[in-house]
């Protein structure tokens, strides 16, 4: 078993220095108590199934959300984009369309992963998140177009009518990060159909690595396959997902917690693990994809004399592969495998 992983090719999951400094500046002079109270109110609304327009109802709630969630969602986006870059190393997007951009999370991540990006269009209907995102992105040295529009209303024709710095017919990269929960099932299906005319090469969807997040992603996968999409990552096949209702495909990224983050969450541990799920597809048959023969789903189980590794295989099956200790190179590779690795 050989791992298709190279640390030197992966962008860092840590929020860029300029964005961190800008965020710290926003916190100066703001008391912790109102932020904690705002976050507590937002958490209750989210747990009850409420959307962002209710959960993030004022400036304190917006700032609390960004402090608490931006570093982790950014890390998840970078990790998913690193995986996409591994599968399509020649992909060098010039334009990005980020739908449900929030505070600019996926746009900041994409600029770190793909230096080729020259134009980014960020669509975010939530005014307070959009305002925070404008400052964060500007502090990072990026000039982007922000658009106030409902996602369900966007189509290929609508994109050409937007008031942009440069006209965009279709973006090379379209991103939807932590967005599907904001939409109803019918809206998601309609949006995915509309996206067919919005991008040229890659569509990347990132969701929380929870059972509910995976279910939303699985429905999107089924809809995209029905539209003729080609899987890029993490799936090494185009067949039905082999995971059962009691299991779900997700990965995790570890990141350091800032002082403000620990204070806001009342946490002592200096790091957090963000579980995420993602899906990258293309309709571009000219895009050369180097999909792995299998994708590691779980941490390896090391026993005396062997290692068991659970993978999603190219044949569309969930398999447990046993690697014996006597096969030294394969054993070492299997022992060091991490969820998300291609093999």
Do 309 and 281 belong together in one domain? no
Which residues does the chain have with pLDDT short of 70? 1-9, 48-49, 152-163, 165
Same domain assignment for residues 201 and 272: yes
Question: Both 165 and 313 in a single domain?
Answer: no
Pair 277, 260: CB distance under 8 Å? no
Q: How many domains does the chain have?
A: 2
What is the per-residue pLDDT for 43?
A: 79
Coil, helix or strand at residue 256: strand
The DSSP secondary structure of 85-113, one letter per residue, reads HHH-TT---SEEEEET-TTTHHHHHHHHH
In this structure, the number of other CB atoms found within 10 A of the CB of residue 311 comes to 24
Residue 2 falls inside a structural domain: no
Q: Report CA torsion sign: 171, 194, 124, 87.
A: negative
Q: Which two tokens stand for residue 13?
A: 């999951």
Q: Check residue 8 and give its pLDDT.
A: 42
Among 291, 308, 325, the domain-final residue is 291
Containing H/E element for 307?
Answer: strand 306-313
23, 234, 265, 328 from 68: Cα distances, Å: 11, 27, 7, 43
Tell whether omega for the bond before 36 is within 30 degrees of 0, i.e. cis: no
Contact yes or no for 173/201 (Cβ under 8 A): yes
**Structure-block tokens of residue 121:** 């269009």
Please name the residues in contact with 313: beta carbons below 8 A apart, sequence gap of 6 or more: 236, 237, 293, 294, 319
Question: Residue ranges of the alpha helices (H) in 28-104?
Answer: 32-47, 52-55, 59-87
Pair (317, 196) in one structural domain: no
Do 123 and 172 lie in one domain? The reply is yes
Taking a C-beta distance cutoff of 8 angstroms, is the pair 189, 223 a contact? yes
Give the per-residue pLDDT at 110. 97
Strand bridging mode 306-313 / 318-324: antiparallel
Q: What is the residue range of 312's domain? A: 296-335
297 closest CA partner among 238, 335, 247: 247
Does residue 257 share a domain with residue 152?
A: yes
- Cβ–Cβ < 8 Å for 108, 135: no
Please state the pTM of the whole predicted model: 0.92
Q: CATH number of the domain at 109, please.
A: 3.40.50.150
pLDDT digits (tens, 9 = 90+) for 215-273: 999 999 999 999 999 999 999 999 999 997 788 999 999 998 888 888 887 788 888 99
Q: Tell which residue, 140, 221, 240, has the closest CA to residue 176.
A: 221
Of 255, 272, 291, which closes a domain? 291
Contacts of 255 (CB under 8 A, 6+ apart): 13, 14, 71, 72, 75, 271, 272, 274
Q: What is the pLDDT of residue 7?
A: 46
Q: Is residue 343 a part of any domain in this protein?
A: no
């Amino acid at each position: 078993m050989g791992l298709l992983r190279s640390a030197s090719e992966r962008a860092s999951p840590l929020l860029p220095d300029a964005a961190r400094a800008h965020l710290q500046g926003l916190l100066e002079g703001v008391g912790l108590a109102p932020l904690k109270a705002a976050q507590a109110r937002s958490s209750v609304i989210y747990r009850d199934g409420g959307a962002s327009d209710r959960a993030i109802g004022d400036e304190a709630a917006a700032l609390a959300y960004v402090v608490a969630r931006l570093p982790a969602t950014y890390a998840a986006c970078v990790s998913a984009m690193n995986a996409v870059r591994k599968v399509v190393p020649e992909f060098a997007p010039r334009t990005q369309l980020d739908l449900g951009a929030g505070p600019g999370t996926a746009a900041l991540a994409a600029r770190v992963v793909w230096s080729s990006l020259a134009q980014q269009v960020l669509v975010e209907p939530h005014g307070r998140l959009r305002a925070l995102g404008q400052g964060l992105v500007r502090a990072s040295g990026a000039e982007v177009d922000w658009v106030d529009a409902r996602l369900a209303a966007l189509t290929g024709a609508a994109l050409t009518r937007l008031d942009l710095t440069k006209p965009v017919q279709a973006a090379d990269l379209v991103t939807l990060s932590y967005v599907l929960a904001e939409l109803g099932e019918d809206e998601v299906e309609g949006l995915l159909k509309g996206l067919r005319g919005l991008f040229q090469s890659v569509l990347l969807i990132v969701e929380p690595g929870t059972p509910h997040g995976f279910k939303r992603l699985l429905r999107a996968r089924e809809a995209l396959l029905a539209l003729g999409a080609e899987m890029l990552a993490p799936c090494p096949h185009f067949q039905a997902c082999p995971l059962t209702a009691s299991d779900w495909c997700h990965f995790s990224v570890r990141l350091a917690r800032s002082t403000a983050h620990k204070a806001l969450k009342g946490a002592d541990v200096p790091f957090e693990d963000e579980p995420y799920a993602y899906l990258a597809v293309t309709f571009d048959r000219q895009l050369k994809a180097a999909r792995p023969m299998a994708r590691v789903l779980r941490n390896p189980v090391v026993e005396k004399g062997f290692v068991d590794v659970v993978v999603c295989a190219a044949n569309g099956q969930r398999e447990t592969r046993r690697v014996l200790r006597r096969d030294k190179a394969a054993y070492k590779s299997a022992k060091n495998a991490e969820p998300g690795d291609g093999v």
